[in-house]
Each structure stands twice: as C-alpha cells, then as structure tokens.
Amino acid sequence: MNKIFLSTIMGLTTLALVNAAETQTQPETGKPAPDFSLTTGDGSQVSLKDYRGKWVVLYFYPKDFTSGCTMEAHNFQRDLTKYEGAGAVILGVSVDTAQSHKDFCAKEGLNFKLLADPDAKVSTEYGSIMDYKGSKLAARNTFIINPKGDIAKVYTGVKPAEHSEQVLKDLAELKKS
C-alpha cells in the first residue's frame, strides 16, 4: 500500500513540474528582450546590450556534453558563417559553469559564446527553466532578438536536429520586414 501511495505522489509531483514548465511565460514578440550580464567560458562578462545593432540568436539548452545539446551546438557551429553573413551572433545559455563551457567549446570546436547562468536567473527570466531530478536546467528555447533589442521570434521545445536551419530561414524572413 505504501508503494502505491508513493507512486501516486511521485506521479502527481512529476505532472505538476511538467505543467509548471509548460506554463512558464517567455518574453513576448515585439517587447524588449530582458537585459543580462553573464560570464563566458573565457571568464569575460557579456551583456545583451553589447550586441545592440546586431541580430542575436539567444538559445537556452539543458547541459554541456549531452547528446542533444552537442548536436544543437554543432549545427550552430556548422552554420556560423551563415549567421555572421546575416549580421547575427549566437549566444548559448545553460546553468553550467563557465569552466564547463570552456571545456565543452574546446572539446567540440565551438567558436561562439556560451554563457554561464549557474543560478538560473536569466533562464528563469526568459521562461526557459525546467526541473530535472531536483536540479534546475535551462529548457530548450530560443529567441531571435532584433538590432533594437526587441524579441523578434520565440521558439519553445526546440528539436536540436533541424533547429539551426529553421532559425536561419526565419532570420532571413525577419530581416526582410
């Protein structure tokens, strides 16, 4: 009887966490992107306002060195010259440490900035946080931010395999408007 009770409680708790993650509010399209300042893998500080005048692809991902996150990062790296040609920068954010980002970039040959959000403050502000086995991780969401600093496009529940191609297509369309 205790096992059934415990299983029921665990199931309800999981459901509540899933529902909480699904009901998070991301910044709205057309509204100013929340500014932030985070540490990169090389130890420097990066603020969103540093990129005014450029398009920014701000992507949140769960964890360095995991299969989906590595695939997503590789695809952004593969397409980096296309983003640069479009006047866009890529910034990745997770709750990993700056040292983890440094190691991840070195191992995977990544040449764009990964930002450490170990207290999950920025991830939470962007409605991109989830609970996984008692730990907070960034949810796989992406934001295209226009040169004025406004949210131009929001992606939630991103599929890593085709995401970079979709962002490039949407970026091209957004630049036409």
The residue annotated as part of the active site, out of 69, 89, 90, 116, is 69
- Alpha-carbon gap, residue 93 to 107, rounded angstroms: 17
- Provide the residue type at 162 as one letter: E
Active site residue 69: yes
Instruction: List active site positions.
Output: 69
